[in-house]
Homo-oligomer: A and B are copies of this chain.
């Protein structure tokens, strides 16, 4: 391949005057009265297309160029020149143009060069990356994902591929998808008539993971600094703009660390990601700020430039109660904070991201570390203006006797957690970790409100199309 990307051409590489070849898809075409065709050509490498200036004199002008429509794929050869028009740095004086792929029935091609609703675009998810909106989302999502790996790698973390299929049911099987190779029309039965899962692929009931955390802890207690970044699953019926049945989650876990170390990590990671996006996707972010969410850029800059606040859950409840605000969900000590509470705290009360710490034990998971007050656990949520909770995590209970007490209190069977308990029996250490959902993060960064529009092929209730 000796062709150039649109991104490099718009950056003046190779230099002006070079003979170049470019290949991509036609976004728009217009013809001047003088008979010159102007084609905006896109190849996905950056937000802007490059303009091809196609003179009438080309041998295939009448036969082909006049018939080119949006969506056609073409190869164009010519000279890179400074653009005389506005809005672009360089354009191409075309000396040869070839249509690689035509568009069947241009009038019915779904990706007409106009604004489409996001609902319509979901119906053509295989074609929507060809739009400005989804193209920009795709590049930002990639930028965020690359930044995550780069951040952890540069800081000495090991990426651990925790399992997707799990036979343990640690956070409640009600929300989990079953994985099976049984023939449902001919289920094997035990003597007593129950389904005989011993004949299923894994020899027992198995499910899709809801979190890699427990497995990750095992590696944390050997490698010290680890993370996982992979798909996770919830069989929830929630039909909201914030829920997907399949989504990607980033989960770091650090040894010899407490909840303060964890908050520092969350702050550092988020700021690193935001800086990468603003630097590497400046063109896409300008589009989001112009067309989707006015504050898309400024709110990231604001976060980068301010320290995260810290607030005890008990103080947060006090602030909410004294706020004089009417909340839909009433506030009292012991409740789980709702998005309206979270947004009030970070947007109105504090005006920047805040880490709320030390939540009541009764609303949190068994593995979170018990505080000395015996009422709260060392959990933390990062709340950000404009979204509410963006990160949730905790210090883990590293003391075997306290963990066992919590398991018993929550009526969980010790035997089901024997390997997890081993981690507390053999060289246990204070450790902590959090979860950051990729889709909510990309939704927040871009201002694209529905998480279905920031993942290539969304899986939700009644929808696994494509």
Taking beta carbons and an 8 Å cutoff, which residues of A are in contact with B?
A: 1, 3, 5, 7, 23-26, 43-45, 71-73, 75, 100-104, 109, 111, 125-127, 129-130, 135, 138-139, 141-142, 145-146, 149-150, 153, 156, 158-168, 177-182, 184-185, 187, 194-195, 201-204, 206, 208, 215, 218-219, 221-225, 230-231, 233, 235, 245-246, 248, 254-257, 261, 398, 419-420, 422-430, 438, 455-457, 459, 461-466
Contact = CB atoms under 8 A, between A and B. Distances in A.
Nearest to A144: B159
B219 A427 contact: no
A248 B161 contact: yes
Given A138-B158, A178-B180, 11 more contacts: A1-B256, A45-B224, A73-B427, A101-B428, A103-B427, A109-B426, A127-B218, A162-B456, A163-B246, A178-B179, A206-B464
Contacts of A156: 5, 7, 45
Contacts of A163: 246, 456-457, 459, 464, 466
Nearest to A422: B126
The 4 closest A-B pairs by CB, nearest first: A44-B223, A129-B222, A101-B428, A202-B464
Contacts of A125: 218
Given A25-B222, A427-B103, A459 B165 contact: yes
| Count of chain copies | 2
A428 B100 contact: yes
B127 A464 contact: no
A161 B455 contact: yes
A201 B465 CA distance: 13
Contact of A127 (B235, B422, B456): B422
Given A103-B425, A165-B245, A215-B466, A160 B126 contact: no
A257 B162 contact: no
A5 B72 CA distance: 55
Nearest to A178: B180
A238 to B, nearest CB: 12
A215 B464 CA distance: 12
Contacts of A3: 256
Nearest to A226: B44
Contact of A465 (B164, B167, B462): B167
A183 to B, nearest CB: 9
7 contacts: A23-B256, A101-B427, A125-B218, A130-B222, A138-B223, A161-B248, A204-B464
Nearest to A218: B126
A100 B456 CA distance: 45
Given A101-B429, A103-B425, A184-B195, A145 B159 contact: yes
A38 to B, nearest CB: 18
Given A71-B426, A101-B429, A426-B104, A457 B222 contact: no
A5 B255 CA distance: 12
